[in-house]
Structure 1
Amino acid sequence: MKGFFEDTNYSIGLLDETAIPRDVIDNYIYEHNLTGKNAFFVADLGKIFKKHLAWQNIMGRIKPFYTVKCNSSPAVLEILAAFGTGFACASKNELSTVYDLGVAMENVVYTNPCKQVSQIKYAAKIGVNLMTCENEMELKKIARNHPNAKLLLHIATEGIRGEEEMNVTFGTTLKNCRHLLECAKELGVQVTGVKFHVSNSSSDPQTYIHAISDARCVYDMAEELGFRLNVLDIGGFSGNELQLEELYQELSHLLNAYFPEGSGTRIIAEPGSFYVSSAFTLAVNIIGKKTVENDQPLPSGGNPTFVYYMNEGVYGSFGSTLFEKLNTAPKVHKRYEDEPLFASSLLGPSCDELDVIVDHCLLPEMEVGDWIVFENMGSANLNEQSAFAISEKPSLYNFMSFRDWYEIQDAGITSENLMKSLCVPWLQSSEDNFSMA
């Protein structure tokens, strides 16, 4: 595979048999206490392999096209490329990154709903033909700048949450699909499939029933106009394995009814955080502390509330908290025994009123210099940092256990360049080296 693991500026540490993932965090906290208390990520790449196996076992013929914008760290993309996943890209930079990995371009879909002309031309240049389209203006742009494009008509879905109807943000209506198909035929643009995306906030099975039946309607319309559709993109997924199984139970009978095996339809999905969230852990340092007196007693039994300032915030690794709730609980790195818990707030370093990471949680009293660990941070902003960030970009340390590495080899996923990125056993149990108390 062209470019695979060549000229990389990172390594993947292999864990000694006596070590556990907790030791990796302990080891680097010890190191950062000596050299500078910057925030850092650790990534257990073996977990990504396990997620891939889970996807294959549960989702069967539905091929994953990993959402690159979720986490585009080089080790993640290169390992997923070795696993044979496809990639869903939303920008020229993402397209270029995947192209440089040597991924076959038929395994890439360009998903940005509003594409720049220059980026459409770039997609055409490198051979990315599969792309989404949801309106006539976008269709005409693609027709002018990418003669070999193969379009997935992005249809809108409506989720119901309780009795409140969700807003339709992306995608065209079923009613408008015939018009777009007629325009595509007139412009000589090939339509090859349908895409929809069901929001994570919608848990109603009816949403998928409507979306898949609507997709079948678009297929029928297209065939009437002479198109032969062969791709169905069912959109993203960000839950865990149990939720994935529940989703497949909802999908399987619908897909078998409308798009059965043997029908010639390739079914793909765009998972992102499912693959990477649990693999990444973020360690941040307390850089400031203040006490706020409250009139009312707190659940911990005392009056003081502690506000802690951390060296990462919403203008860095916690950027997603500006528009969605943090889905992981903070854990104090020190091991406290029978310590009282106090109502606490965790803020970023900017002192901006928006820079609130956790508004309220119960934690033992901490001091400046202590560390807090956040798990399930694989969907954090690892690669780009806001211009408003005042802390250094966190370092990223990749590791994998020997057991996981052997399982990857047993699965037939090997590469000389991958071997070059692996370190010899470098970590032993930290309990003999420093105190974690």
Structure 2
Amino acid sequence: MTLDGTLAFLAVYWPEIVSIVALVLISAFFVGSETALTAVSRSRMHTLEANGEMRAGLVRQLIERRDRLIGALLIGNNLANILSSSLATSLFLGLFGSSGVALATLAMTVILVIFAEVLPKSWAISSPDRFALSAALPIKLFVAVVGPISSLVNAVVRRILGIFGVTLSREIPMLTAHEELRGTVDLLHREGAVVKADRDRLGGILDLSQLELSDIMVHRTAMRAINADDAPEVLVRTILESPYTRMPLWRGTIDNIIGVVHAKDLLRALAEPNVGPENLDIVKIAQKPWFVPDSTNLEDQLNAFLRRKQHFALVVDEYGEVQGIVTLEDILEEIVGDISDEHDIDMQGVRQESDGSIVVDGSVPIRDLNRALDWQLPDEEATTIAGLVIHESMTIPEERQAFTFYGKRFIVMKREKNRITRLRIRPAAENETKPL
């Protein structure tokens, strides 16, 4: 086509050409806005809104009603695409006759895919927050106009899906807030943006409501307590030699806890005139015991500790029998990891061997092992590593018996009565399978 012919063509058909270009740009805007508003960071928008960014507030309002937003954007996008394709078809029919339909379809497919789909989506996904802020005001106005139509369309869609037993809920997200936050932290850790220690601390906070006291308490078999019927000087020596500041006081049986003795109260009593280790009444200085159910979750117990300004509680089961003790430090360690001071006993629970295997005491909690070694052993059915082996093997293993599960080889090194006291753990070989 010559220059004169091109000019003549543009002079005749310029309204259709300008309209098609404008509609393709409008379609690109809707597609990019949909991508950006779907991928936008809600936390980032919240921070910007708190700092006075009005457009961030508009974005927040839009994504609060995602179904209404997406419906409106799809309506606008489809209207622009259909109208631009119709104009192109009319234009090509006038130029090429009956073959214009095929040519228009081919041309508009290429144009729409490149300029109204791939390009705007790539642009929006590369910087969704910035794109969303820029598009917030015009999209807000468009949704205000088309929103009622979008709501009507969504209602029809829900009714049709309801016929087939599919229920859509606008209130219930697929992931809870905790799951979404945990997934984000894990993803950032894998990408290297969050170090392991920070991931573990954030995970510990999120796990508080999922764990019960029975998961972290010091079991009664490892609990240190004193007998009120022992001689006073024996009790004083036991308390002062203990690394713990609080000790349960029992009489008759360990289930009959009558008090809790605090080392500071003991020292104050011994500082009184005419009071010595031989004539001290330990029961009088003991504090009233606080009993809590073993099914209490850690979040509730932490709040109870803070509310009552106490650090120590006795854990009982549904029958009222003492199962162990829990302290404020035990709960905090679930968040920050092991808290040690100069009086703590060094627990030799995990040892790395030269061959790469790990020797573990049976009483080591699974959660502590996972945190220390970055493993993923399940802790839903068992609290300790010995309990996990018993649960998976469905038996009380003998010494030197080995089991393979969760990608690890567990070898029982030592057993005392019905308790597994020591295990060796190493990566499972490819030819080792879980026993039936």
Instruction: Please indicate the TM-score interval, normalised by the length of the shorter structure.
Output: under 0.3
Which of the two has greater helix per residue?
Answer: 2
Structure number having the greater strand percentage: 1
Give TM-score scaled by structure 2 length. Answer: 0.20
**Largest Rg, 1 or 2:** 2
Which one scores higher on RCO, CA 8 angstroms, separation ≥ 6? 1
* TM value normalised by structure 1: 0.20
